[in-house]
Amino acid sequence: MTAYNVKVNGRSQSVDVLPDTPLLWVLRDSLGLTGTKFGCGIAMCGACTVFLDGKPLRSCSFPVSSVGDREVTTIEGLSGREAAAVQRAWVARDVPQCGYCQSGQVMSAVALLKEVKRPTDRDIDLAMIGNLCRCATYVRIRAAINDAARSLGA
């Protein structure tokens, strides 16, 4: 076991884990931040998406030993205009069905809108292609991202 200091949602915290432990399990098992979900373990589904220094990252395939002093943001620590707009749009459109992938969807959508103010359909495809939704809520995800972008532009 090795001790690591990780900065998550603005707080520095110490964890004692195996060095190859994926960040996902540190967040969930060590820190109790269960909003970030396990879906595949190989970065193919996006349910585990968090931000590392503001950029989306699949936490299931990223060892805690590689985090260093970079800042981790999870769904629990999401803040800012884009986050508020995306979550509002998600609720207004009743996007989630089973809901299990939606933390990851919201994280990817917020990351997109931080980068691109008026995303095209292709921008949305590229930003969201890594986030699987087995309920196939994709029609509403796209619509909610467009709603959020419009509300931010207003």
Partner 1 sequence: MQQEQPRFSRRTALKGARGLLLGLCLRPGSGLAQSGLGQKLRPDGSTGMAFAPNAFVRISSDDTVTVLVKHIEFGQGPFTGLATIVAEELDADWSKVRAEHAPADLNLYKNTLLGVQGTGGSTSIANSYEQLRKAGAAARTMLVEAAAQSWRVPASEISVERGVLRHAKSNRLARFGQFAEAAAKLPVPENPPLKDPSKFRLIGREGAVKKLDVPAKTNGTAQFTIDIREPGTLTAVVAHPPRFGSKVASVDVTGARAVPGLVDVKQIPSGIAVYADSTWPALKAREALKIEWDESAAEKRSSSQLIEEYRALSRQKGNTASQHGDVDAALAGAERVIEAEFVFPYLAHAPMEPLDGFLRWDGNKAVARFGSQLQTVEQQTIAGVLGLKLEQVSLETMLAGGSFGRRAQPTSHFAAELAEVAKAIGPNRAIKLIWTREDDLRGGYYRPMFVHRLRGAIRGGKIMGWANTVVGQSFIEGTPFAPMIIKDGIDPLTVEGARELPYEIPNFRCDVHTPTVGVTTLSWRSVGHTHTGYAVECFIDELLQATGQDPVAGRLALMGNAPRAAVVLRTVAQLARWAGPGPFRDRARGVAVVESFGTSIAQIAEVSIGDGEGPKVHKVWCAVDCGVAVNPDIIRAQMEGGIGFGLGHALFAEVQIDEGRPVPANFDTYRSLRIHEMPEVEVTIVPSSEKPTGVGEPGVPPIGPAVANALARLGDNRPRQLPIVRGTV
Indicate whether 13 belongs to the interface with partner 1 (CB under 8 A): no
Question: Among 6-14, 15-23, 65-73, 112-120, which window interacts with partner 1 (CB under 8 A)?
Answer: 15-23
User: Roughly how many angstroms between the first and final C-alpha of the chain, as a whole number?
Assistant: 51
Which residue from 54, 53, 50 is spatially nearest to 37, judged by alpha carbons?
A: 50
DSSP reduced 3-state for 149: helix
Indicate whether 119 belongs to the interface with partner 1 (CB under 8 A): no
Which residues within the stretch 130-149 sit at the binding site for partner 1 (CB under 8 A)? 131-142
Indicate whether 120 belongs to the interface with partner 1 (CB under 8 A): no
Indicate whether 74 belongs to the interface with partner 1 (CB under 8 A): yes
Whole-Å CA distances, 137 to 75, 105, 140, 141? 19, 10, 6, 6
Indicate whether 80 belongs to the interface with partner 1 (CB under 8 A): no
110-120 CB burial, b ≥16 within 10 A, e <16: bbbbbeeeebe
DSSP reduced 3-state for 59: helix
Q: Closer CB to partner 1, residue 75 or residue 111?
A: 75
Give least dist CB 72 to partner 1, A: 14
Residues of the shown chain interacting with partner 1 in the complex, contacts defined by CB under 8 A: 1, 17-18, 20-22, 25, 28-30, 32, 34-42, 44-45, 47, 74-76, 78, 87, 90-91, 94-103, 106, 124-125, 128-129, 131-142
